[in-house]
């Protein structure tokens, strides 16, 4: 058995086409989706991500602003810039690229973002609404939201399914736990302190891994026919991009996201989709 490839690029292409049409309709109503990205320092991986986001935003004809601050920028400078975009009615979505330099308090920066413009869905107010299932018009972390879109696109049923989420970051693991739980899956959250990880993953219908450790999940850890979502992004000895899931897992899994080409394209597509949604919410428009 060879796993069915969950094609993130193809699904992202569909979302981007929808986003282009929604942007066109909003623009006709005088609303141009505005996205501000703040990057502090010169982290190479961050620079690539920011550049990709900038290109996609430009292609969709957003009001796209990218502000680079030097690595030694102060906490006050970063927060002042966030506040400037909070108060700018032409900016509907704010993203501060992680990681920040070690001297900065990333939590304080997240807290400074207006929750209505928090396109990454990291503000505690937005996370609280997600976990409590309260309200509708709030942003959700883009990678988890993109994963949920992929599962829906491939008609992978969630109610009653046993899911093991490996990784508990605020960016992926925790919001995805809430989304899956809200979709009536039975979710176990595992992490680096979890003992007998293989025993957990072998019992799962769906395994999602977001740790950043190459080949953490091997074929012996997967139940035949299980769905495996690999969020990991690592470089092997030859510099090739690889995930957290070993290649031989494709011989036992029923569905598998490749790296690259799986979850990655969905994150940026979902970021653009959510920027449009924030613009609509803030201006009283409806997008469909």
CA distance 62 to 275: 9
Query: Which residue in 96, 101, 54 sits closest to 79, CA to CA?
Result: 96
Tokens 């609404």 correspond to what residue? 129
169 known member of a binding site: yes
Angle at 61 between CA 57 and CA 63, to 5 degrees: 75
3-state secondary structure 213-252: CCCCECHHHCCCCCEEEECCCEECCCCCEECCECHHHHHC
| Catalytic sites, residue numbers | 53, 97, 120
8 known member of a binding site: no
Contact criterion met (CB below 8 Å) for 178 and 134: no
261 known member of a binding site: no
Binding site membership: which residues? Answer: 167-169
Binding site membership for NADP(+): which residues? Answer: 167-169
């Amino acid at each position: 058995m060879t796993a069915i490839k969950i094609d993130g690029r193809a699904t992202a292409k569909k979302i981007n086409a929808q986003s282009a049409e929604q942007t066109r309709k909003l623009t006709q109503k005088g609303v141009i989706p505005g996205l501000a990205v703040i990057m502090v320092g010169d982290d190479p991986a961050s620079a690539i991500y920011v550049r990709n986001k900038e290109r996609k935003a430009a292609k969709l004809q957003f009001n796209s602003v990218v502000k680079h601050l030097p690595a030694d920028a102060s906490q006050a400078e970063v927060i002042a810039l966030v506040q400037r975009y909070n108060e700018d009615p032409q900016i509907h979505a704010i993203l501060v690229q992680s990681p920040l330099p070690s001297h900065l308090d990333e939590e304080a920066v997240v807290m400074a973002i207006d929750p209505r413009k928090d396109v990454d869905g990291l503000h505690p107010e937005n996370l609280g609404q997600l976990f409590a299932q309260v309200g509708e018009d709030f942003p959700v972390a883009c990678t988890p939201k993109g994963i949920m879109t992929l599962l829906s696109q491939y008609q992978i049923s969630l109610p009653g399914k046993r899911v093991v989420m490996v990784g508990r970051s605020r960016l992926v693991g925790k919001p995805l736990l809430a989304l899956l739980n809200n979709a009536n899956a039975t979710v176990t959250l595992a992490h680096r302190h979890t003992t007998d990880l293989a025993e957990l993953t072998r019992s799962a219908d769906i395994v999602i891994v977001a740790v950043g450790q190459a080949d953490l999940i091997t074929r012996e850890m997967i139940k035949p026919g299980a769905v495996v979502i690999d969020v990991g992004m690592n470089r092997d000895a030859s510099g090739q991009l690889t995930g957290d899931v070993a290649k031989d897992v494709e011989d036992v899994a029923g569905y598998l996201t490749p790296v690259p080409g799986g979850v990655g394209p969905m994150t940026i597509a979902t970021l653009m989709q959510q920027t449009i949604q924030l613009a609509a919410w803030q201006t009283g428009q409806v997008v469909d």
